Amino acid sequence: MTLKQALGHARRFLAENNIEDSLLESEILLRHTLKISRVQLYLDRDRELSPKQEKGLRHLIKRRLSGEPTAYITGHREFYGLDFYVNHHVLIPRPESELLVEQALKLAQNDNLSTIADIGTGCGAIAISLALNLPQLRIYATDISTPALEVARLNCQKHGVADRICLLEGDMLTPLPEPVDLIVANLPYVREAELAKVNSAGFESSLALNGGRDGLAKIRRLCQQVRGKTGITTYLILEIGQGQAAAVTSLLRRLFPDGKIEVMPDLGGVERVVSLQLEKNTRLLLNYSLGLVSVSRAID
Ligand SMILES: C[S@@+](CC[C@H](N)C(=O)[O-])C[C@H]1O[C@@H](n2cnc3c(N)ncnc32)[C@H](O)[C@@H]1O
């Protein structure tokens, strides 16, 4: 079988089994089997696959048809123009989350910020995209999951930012050793009742998706922690799910009556990012310098 025929077969199998973007997905699986670039795939389209390669491709198609996302099969996902290593311990970064990066970049550049914390960093895609675009910034990236932080560590090394991103294990803000200028967070926000629909084949970690009964359990707790640590940050930027903007903005209004709140839609028109601006506050800086705030374990 030639590469062209293999691509045709793979595409048909995927399309017949209702996999969207069947051409793109079959290209990725074939290229992953052969370890070749997209250009090579089309230049060598009359080349014959070896029996071992045919078997390898069939195996990958079977995995894909079982519902395993392509990114977990290949171990890669592109985000903000960068290639990230992913496995089933981390959420596959979504294109919508690029809006969080855009918004954080805009604020960091306009307001000359110097420290950022990415809470619930997963594979590190948001923190690393920020680090590469803001070379003067110091970045903390936290997650409660040890294996997720291992993936983030590999990605920090791959992108040459391991010395600029401090990976910290722990719950929400607990591991932060100092106040930061901006907190960015894409925490789990899927409603429990919808988990099965979003993660039908069960490949993505529930820790990365489950936002409790109304989807807002983690977001609410982060906002409450920010409220409880006066001066911990000046900006808080949150990714939210469809239909959650009203609840999140009213929560923020209640917790931070003087805060400036903005809601931004993603490219699909869904209200996706909520940003909160607070007054700069020096009180907590003093608390930190007096050692009143505990520091959790850092992962190097
Ligand atoms: C929706 S995923 C987002 C991952 C990554 N930020 C991204 O956008 O691709 C949420 C992440 O939050 C982490 N997480 C869940 N609960 C947490 C908590 N209480 N404190 C810190 N991180 C948490 C999960 O382990 C997961 O990596």
Q: Is the CB of 171 under 6 A from ligand 1?
A: yes
Average pLDDT of span 80-91: 97
- Supply the pLDDT for residue 284: 47
CB 31 within 8 A of CB 73: no
- Supply the pLDDT for residue 296: 40
Instruction: Select the more confidently predicted residue: 151 or 290.
Output: 151
Exposure string for 169-203, b = 16+ CB within 10 A, e = fewer: bbebbbbbeebbbbbbbbbbbbbeeebeeebeeeb
286: exposed, middle or buried (C-beta count within 10 Å: 0-12, 13-18, 19+)?
exposed
Q: pLDDT band for position 281 (50/70/90)?
A: low
Per-residue model confidence as pLDDT tens digits over 213-224? 999 999 999 999
Q: 78-83+89-299 domain in CATH 3.40.50.150?
A: yes
* The pLDDT of residue 272 is above 60: yes
Residue ranges of domains in the chain = 3-66, 78-83+89-299
- Supply the pLDDT for residue 201: 75
Per-residue model confidence as pLDDT tens digits over 236-253? 999 999 999 999 999 999
CB 182 within 8 A of CB 237: yes
CA of 148 to the centre of ligand 1 (A): 9
Q: pLDDT band for position 289 (50/70/90)?
A: very low
The residues with which 165 forms a beta bridge, in sequence order, are: 139
Per-residue model confidence as pLDDT tens digits over 34-78? 999 999 999 999 999 999 999 999 999 999 999 999 999 999 999
- Supply the pLDDT for residue 279: 83
Instruction: Select the more confidently predicted residue: 230 or 245.
Output: 245
Q: Looking at the domain covering 3-66, what would its CATH class be?
A: mainly alpha
**End-to-end Cα separation, the chain, in angstroms:** 48
- Supply the pLDDT for residue 292: 45
116, 186, 239, 297, best to mutate for ligand 1 pocket (most atoms within 8 Å of CB): 186
Tally of residues, the chain: 300
Q: Is the CB of 124 under 6 A from ligand 1?
A: no
CA of 8 to the centre of ligand 1 (A): 38
- Supply the pLDDT for residue 83: 97
Q: Give the predicted TM-score (pTM) of the model.
A: 0.91
